[in-house]
């Protein structure tokens, strides 16, 4: 497998070259406003401030490992969820009082604001983070989390991914693990674990089998579609985003998630998880939000799972992580 570091540098170069060129008439209404080379300092500065004022409320976890099918899964065990549960109850109360669903992104908490990315997107810290520097890439206007990703989403994502080595993911709908309806992608720094592979599923991806540009991973006992990314070197963010958007739609169609003819208006046919790095993309169709009380979002398919207590940890280890993933994903056709 190619080095993720090299992929990150390739991605950064493809965006920086365009951003450092003289201004020209844009090929798209989207204009990136994120200043290259400043983002990571902003993330660290905002994190420190948000911790001091209490806006950022990390979830303490202890790490365990569970190995299955050659994958060493990282399992985070929550030691205290009281603040998140309290916030959820407060949100439910606001929903009942106002008669409409509370949206934490409209307006967003200024103490969690990291940076403007474009005319359509901004970046926030994840308020209840189990991983340090967990970021949210949020649309300025309300869009449903179950809607298809568009070119502007990938432009914003690429602008941020060019600033540090990270794993991006998208939980398309509640069944896929989304906790908010307002469209948002998420990004966490790599490595996910301090030992071994940066992303636990990397050994499985190394043996993917391809038909044309779409791959399958033999040891994944659930429906999925996998692709290597070959982003244009030296191109603009717009051309890189177009390439990523095209590959995303190809994977959705291959996984049976996209209805409609190629080139026509498309409709989603179900919930899914999306994982993206600078060098690959993975789509997993979902059948249910949790199994045996264990909730799973996109990070579960990257090889990192979250459990709420020791009881859930025991269930996970008894069943095996792959069994849990198989039961929340769609079965292979």
Give per-residue pLDDT as tens, 44-101.
Answer: 999 999 999 999 999 999 999 999 999 999 999 998 775 666 666 666 666 667 667 8
For the chain, what percent of residues have pLDDT higher than 90? 74
- Residue 88 tokens, joined: 């959820």
Give per-residue pLDDT as tens, 13-48.
Answer: 554 433 333 333 344 455 788 988 999 999 999 999
Contact call for residues 177 and 273 (beta carbons, < 8 A): yes
Q: Where are the alpha helices (DSSP H) in the chain?
A: 4-19, 39-53, 82-98, 151-161, 202-205, 237-254, 298-302, 310-319, 321-328
Sketch the domain layout of the chain as residue ranges: 4-328
**What's the whole-model pTM score?**
0.88
Of 3.30.428.70, 3.40.50.300, 1.10.8.60, 3.30.460.80, the CATH number of 4-328 is: 3.30.428.70
- 282-309 burial: b if 16+ Cβ within 10 Å, else e: bbbbbbebebeebbbbbbbbbbbbbbee
The phi and psi torsions of 81 (rounded to 5 degrees) equal: -110, 15
Closest CA to 158 of 6, 21, 32: 32
Tell me which DSSP letter residue 286 carries: B
Closest CA to 115 of 127, 105, 125: 125
């Amino acid at each position: 497998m190619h080095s993720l570091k090299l992929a990150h540098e390739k991605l950064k170069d493809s965006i920086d070259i365009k951003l450092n060129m003289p201004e020209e008439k844009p090929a798209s209404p989207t204009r990136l406003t994120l200043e290259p080379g400043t983002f990571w300092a902003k993330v660290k500065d905002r994190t420190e401030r948000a911790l001091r004022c209490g806006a950022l409320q990390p979830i303490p976890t202890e790490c365990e490992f569970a190995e299955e099918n050659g994958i060493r899964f990282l399992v985070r065990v929550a030691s205290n969820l009281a603040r998140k549960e309290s916030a959820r109850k407060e949100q439910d109360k606001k929903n009942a009082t106002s008669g409409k669903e509370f949206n934490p992104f409209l307006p967003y908490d200024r103490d969690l604001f990291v940076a403007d990315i474009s005319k359509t997107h901004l970046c926030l810290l994840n308020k209840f983070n189990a991983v340090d520097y967990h970021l949210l890439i949020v649309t300025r206007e309300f869009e449903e989390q179950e809607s298809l990703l568009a070119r502007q989403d990938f432009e914003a994502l690429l602008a941020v991914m060019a600033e540090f080595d990270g794993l991006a993911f998208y939980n398309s709908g509640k069944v896929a693990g989304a906790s908010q309806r307002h469209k948002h992608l998420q990004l966490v720094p790599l490595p996910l674990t301090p030992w071994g592979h940066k992303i636990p599923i990397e050994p499985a991806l190394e043996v993917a089998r391809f038909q044309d540009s779409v791959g399958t991973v033999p040891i994944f006992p659930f429906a999925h579609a996998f692709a290597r990314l070959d982003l244009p070197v030296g191109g603009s963010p717009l051309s890189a985003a177009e390439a990523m958007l095209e590959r995303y739609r190809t994977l959705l169609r291959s996984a049976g998630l996209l209805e409609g003819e190629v080139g026509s208006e498309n409709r989603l046919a179900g919930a899914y998880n999306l994982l993206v790095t600078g060098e690959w993309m993975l789509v997993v169709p979902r059948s249910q939000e949790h199994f045996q009380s264990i909730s799973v979002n996109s990070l579960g398919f990257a090889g990192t799972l979250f459990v709420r207590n020791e009881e859930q940890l025991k269930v996970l280890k008894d069943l095996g992580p792959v069994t849990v993933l198989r039961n929340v994903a769609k079965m292979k056709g």
